[in-house]
Amino acid sequence: MARLAKYDLVSIDDLELEDIEQIFQLADHFSQSLKEGDTPRLAQGLIMATLFYEPSTRTRLSFEAAMHRLGGSVISSADMKTSSVAKGESLADTVRVVSAYADLIVLRHPHEGAAKVAAEYASSPVINAGDGSREHPTQTLCDLYILRSKKGDLKGLTVAICGDLRYGRTVHSLMYALARFGANILAVPNKGMEVPEHVLARLAVQRNYKFATVSIAELKSLASDLDALYLTPREPHQMALFTGEMAAGAARAVKSDPPVVDALYVTRLQRERLKDGHEVGSEYFHVDSRAIRGSRTQSAVIMHPLPRTDELAYELDSDPRAIYFEQAAVGVPVRMALIAWLIQLAAQGEAKPRRSPKAIAFSSRVHPMCANPTCITRSESAYLSPRFRFAPWGDRSALTLQCDYCEHEARFDYVGNSRSRRYYRFDETLYGYVRRWVEEGSLMVFRDPKQAEESGYEPYRRGPQREVMNAQEMRRALESLAEQIIADLSDLTGVTVVGILTRGAILALRLRDLIADKTGIVLPCAAVSVVGDEARIVPLEGKDGLAFDGRTIVLVDDVINSGWTVQRAMNALWNAGRPASVRLAVLIDRGHRALPIRPNYAGKNLPTAPTERVRVYLDSQEPVGKRKATERVVLYSMLESGASKGKHV
């Protein structure tokens, strides 16, 4: 009978904060018992298999030492080239077989998502000891444990994380954890080694967390007390959603007091992950004693997951602030604690529930590939079908998905329906259809028409476009909306305007300006993003618009049709606070509601056939009052290829 619960540690987020606390308490206990030479033989009779498809010193040896100290046994394949992998055995087969030999599998693999795949196929629990450039959760446990022992509570600490933030897996897990513990991160990437978009998005969406990025030069000036520092919160995932007038507000630099750095976390260049031809900027951050001389860095501890190459001067080794060897040494008690925690979990007999976002499965044999060349779905393609989920970032001009294994972005310009075998150029008016097709299992995605046609799909073509509103009419409709709002809401001081990204948010800012012109009252403004699995609130111009409790919200969108988008936006509002009421303002009401939602203010009622599509063109780059005449609203149908009439979408 299995002695360990099937609880896989693939990401640091698989552990709740209280789990981490429990593991740290156990680690304190084991540190003490190791000192006393008296470790309990908790794991007697258990076997751990260490499968390392990549080199390792610390992680494998400290895991093995931990298991031995607890009285358990270890079987190891430290160099998978000497195993059946050399004969072409798949990861799935290997871990299924090893599950019969070992109670616990510790896996290191060069490909992103490998630990997730192993966890799905192995019947024994799998611990991720590093999967490509994705995550390294047990290194993070060691990092947090040593940092806390030196600095106390993690909340409020400022950790400068330097070097290769793109391919370094330890820093990704560390960022996820620091965000949850309420620490501040100062990212100091080497040029071209910035934090990947999917990591930023995960921090923003799941943790509502943004960090500041500074250049190496800025960090140096901080360390030498030269200059004040201007910190700009990084929000590229959101910036991608902003255009023109919105970007001006969102990109405003925030001048903040230069922080006191509590820890400097240095990482090496992950040279083995660089693609051929990747140029490494000449300057890779090099930390020596000067880095901790200034008043704002002198109390910083220096950390490094090791191995070091030339980013960390040997002269630091004798400095009491250099804690990287202790950081490596706690690998044993911390990993003992993790194993003991898994044993406790099994003894409690309760399965820990897991939350994972719903993946989009493609029924057809022709399915999209993940674009990341080192995604596990690329190397194990014989049995793995790529799986995606809606990416919580991106604009609505392409369908932005995210690989369920490696989390990398996948953008598709064309979508198709496998029942009608038609394909379409994606635009945001199709978003509602796409969600329905996902539920029906009929969604297909393509990068270009060629791919669609080679898969046997026929195009829908746009029927003739009819202009239903020109720029002047649009301005008048907005004026009318502003007047309707002013007449209806007696107390404007309690009103917040929230626009649905992207077009609704542009219109929200214009309405805010029109209302300010007419009444002198400037309403706070925010945006809501409805892409991704969960709709969420996004600040538009500072944080003013983010308090919703007790306020009247005017939700703004360009077109209302089925009402699904509005419903998703309302959910996001509801998660963010308790508004007193929500009113809906739309430029165009098409009137085909699937849900009982009616706009309170409409710029124009435009009864349309369900098969017709309405597209609002906004030129948000121009300053107010000087808009190009290209702004317009058009109406068109989708026609089958070659047919002048025929079936519609």
Nearest CB to ligand NCD, comparing residues 193 and 445: 193
Of 170 and 190, the one with the shorter C-beta distance to ligand NCD is 170
| Contacts for 58-61: CB closer than 8 Å, 24+ residues apart | 58/306, 58/328, 58/331, 59/108, 59/129, 59/130, 59/136, 59/138, 59/139, 59/331, 60/106, 60/108, 60/129
Distance from C-alpha of 581 to C-alpha of 550, rounded to nearest angstrom: 8
Rounded to an integer, what distance in angstroms lies between the CA atom of residue 544 and that of residue 540? Answer: 9
x/- mask, ligand NCD, residues 100-139, rule CB under 6 A, reads ------------------------------x-----x--x
**Using rule CB under 6 A, residue 268 touches ligand NCD:** yes
Min separation Cβ 328 and ligand NCD, Å: 7
Smallest distance, ligand NCD to C-beta of residue 262, A: 21
* Encoded tokens for 314: 């040997």
Instruction: Kindly tell me which of 171 and 474 has the beta carbon lying closer to ligand NCD.
Output: 171
8 Å CB contact between 370 and 410: yes
- Residue among 59 and 637 whose Cβ is closer to ligand NCD: 59
Instruction: List the interface residues with ligand NCD, window 194-233 (CB under 6 A).
Output: none
DSSP 252-321: --EE-PPPPPSEEEE----GGGPPTTPPPPS----B-GGGGTSTTTTT-EEE--S---SSB-GGGGGSTT
- Token look-up 């939350």 returns 355
Q: Which is nearer to ligand NCD, 202 or 268 (CB)?
A: 268
Whether 613 and 429 have beta carbons less than 8 Å apart is answered as: yes
Query: Based on CB atoms, which residue is closest to ligand NCD, 327 or 637?
Result: 327
Closest approach of ligand NCD to the CB of residue 35, in Å:
23
Q: How far is the CB of 289 from ligand NCD (least distance, A)?
A: 22
Contact between 262 and 292 under an 8 Å Cβ cutoff? The reply is no
| Number of residues this chain uses to bind ligand NCD (CB under 6 A) | 11
Q: In the set 11, 31, 59, 99, which binds ligand NCD (CB under 6 A)?
A: 59
State which residue, 130 or 394, has the beta carbon closest to ligand NCD.
130
Interface pattern 276-305 for ligand NCD (x via CB under 6 A): -----------------------------x
Smallest separation, CB 308 to ligand NCD (Å): 8
DSSP annotation of 502 reads: T
Instruction: Name the minimum Å distance from CB 476 to ligand NCD.
Output: 60
Per CB under 6 A, the list member of 109, 116, 169, 396 interacting with ligand NCD is 169
Going by their DSSP bridges, the two strands 184-189 and 212-213 should be labelled as parallel
Choose between 136 and 396: whose C-beta lies nearer to ligand NCD: 136
CB contact burial 464-475 (16+ within 10 A = b; e otherwise): eeeebbebebbb
| Cβ distance to ligand NCD smaller for residue 335 or 503 | 335
What is the contact mask toward ligand NCD in residues 67 to 106, using x (rule: CB under 6 A)? ----------------------------------------
Shortest reach from residue 231's CB to ligand NCD, in Å: 27
Within 303-342, which residues bind ligand NCD (CB under 6 A)?
A: 305-306
* Strands 466-469 and 458-462, sheet pairing: unpaired
Nearest distance in Å: CB 374, ligand NCD: 14
Burial 211-236 (b: 16+ CB within 10 A, else e): bbbbebebbbbbbeeeeebebebbbe
Residue with smaller CB distance to ligand NCD, 39 or 170: 170
Nearest residue to ligand NCD by CB is 305
Q: Indicate which single residue of 11, 20, 58, 424 sits in contact with ligand NCD (rule: CB under 6 A).
A: 58
Q: CB of 112 within 8 A of CB of 199? A: no
Smallest separation, CB 305 to ligand NCD (Å): 4
What minimum distance in Å lies between the beta carbon of 137 and ligand NCD?
11
Residue 43 beta carbon to ligand NCD: minimum distance, rounded to whole angstroms: 22
Distances in Å between the alpha carbon of 550 and those of 485, 486, 505, 527, 620? 18, 19, 22, 18, 31
Terminal CA-CA length for the chain:
55
Q: Residue 214: what are its φ and ψ, rounded to 5°?
A: -125, 155
Q: Locate tokens 């703004």: which residue?
A: 556
Q: Which is nearer to ligand NCD, 58 or 604 (CB)?
A: 58
* Binding-site string for ligand NCD from residue 17 to residue 56, where x marks contact by CB under 6 A and - marks none: ----------------------------------------
Q: Return residues touching ligand NCD (CB under 6 A).
A: 58-59, 130, 136, 139, 169-170, 267-268, 305-306
